[in-house]
Amino acid sequence: MELIQLTPWDLSIAALLVLLLAALSFRLQLGIEKQLLIASARSAVQLGLLGLVLKVIFTQSNPLAIGLLTLFMLLVASYEVMNRQQRRYQGYWGMGVGIFSMFLSSFSVTLLALLVILQADPWYTPQYLIPLLGMMLGNTMTGVALSLDSLNQNAWQQRASIEARLMLGDDWHTAIAGIRRNALRTGLIPIINAMAAAGVISIPGMMTGQILAGSAPMEAAKYQILILFLVSASIGLGSMTAIWIGSKHLFDERQRLRLDRLTQPKR
């Protein structure tokens, strides 16, 4: 089966729908049109650029260029994680927590998939590496952002309880254990929901893509299962790492609660 090529005209029809939505929002004074248009324009430009970059990278398969692209993806993901925090860490930690936890989780899970499961040759074949890593990072980013936001918001709101436990001689682990558990749950709920709904309520994006591109449905399903499992491992590992080092950073060497290491929320 041959993939049906999309013409600019085809994309314009879809874009028209978005414009229509924006006009409707403007008319009804819903106030969402600006954000909607910016986001749509961003996605069109970003994906277009990605298409161009990948075209070059796929033909050259230069390890250095691939490495740089993955680093760029990691930095942007970390920036997004930081940006989604109501109360972020001051200084280097703001970006650092995201970079470290996502590097540890997404990169190692991708590496495992490339070396052991897919056994691509060479292992850094960009046709496999880039989309895989992108899926890991994109999902892990959401998990880490949700986890850290929950951790820091709750630590702020429940600071009196945390300190009450410290005053009575509990160590910092015990004092923040409940908040940590909640943070991990918050980070993992989206992927658990996605796995529960997969195939019954929704056909996941990747499987849709493969089927549209002409793959046999069973092959597409196997790939999708692989991706879901890998993604949940990456989210879990990333969220746990971020929560671990993030919560440790909320206390100093004398186990004092140091909320002054968080910034005030904007607004």
Partner 1 sequence: MSQLRLHNLQVQQRPPINLEIAAGQCITIAGPSGCGKTQLLRAIADLDPHQGEVQLNGMAQEAIPAPQWRCQVGYLPAESAWWREQVGDHFTDPDPKLFESLGFTLAWLEREVSRLSTGERQRLALLRLLNNKPKVLLLDEPTANLDQTNAQQVEQLIHNYRQIEQAAVIWVTHDQSQHHSSTAHYCFKGNKLEQITWN
Contact positions toward partner 1, by CB under 8 A? 158, 160-161, 163-171, 178, 252, 254-257
Q: 223: Cβ–Cβ under 8 A, 6 or more apart, which residues?
A: 206, 207, 210, 215
Taking the complex as a whole, how short is the minimal distance between the CB of residue 167 and partner 1, in angstroms? 5
Q: Give least dist CB 175 to partner 1, A.
A: 9
Shorter beta-carbon distance to partner 1: residue 97 or 257:
257
Residue with Cβ nearer partner 1 (193 or 255): 255
| Nearest distance from C-beta of residue 212 to partner 1, angstroms | 52
Specify the residue, 102 or 162, whose C-beta has the smaller distance to partner 1.
162
**What DSSP letter does each residue of 33-77 carry, written as one string?**
HHHHHHHHHHHHHHHHHHHHHHHHHHHH--HHHHHHHHHHHHHHH
| Residue carrying structure tokens 């999309």 | 6
**C-alpha count within 13 angstroms, C-beta hemisphere, residue 16:** 6
Q: Which is nearer to partner 1, 125 or 161 (CB)?
A: 161
- Shortest distance in whole angstroms from residue 182 CB to partner 1: 13
**Cβ of residue 173: shortest distance to partner 1, in angstroms?**
10
Are the CB atoms for 113 and 133 separated by under 8 Å? Answer: no
Give alpha helix (H) positions in 199-216: 205-212
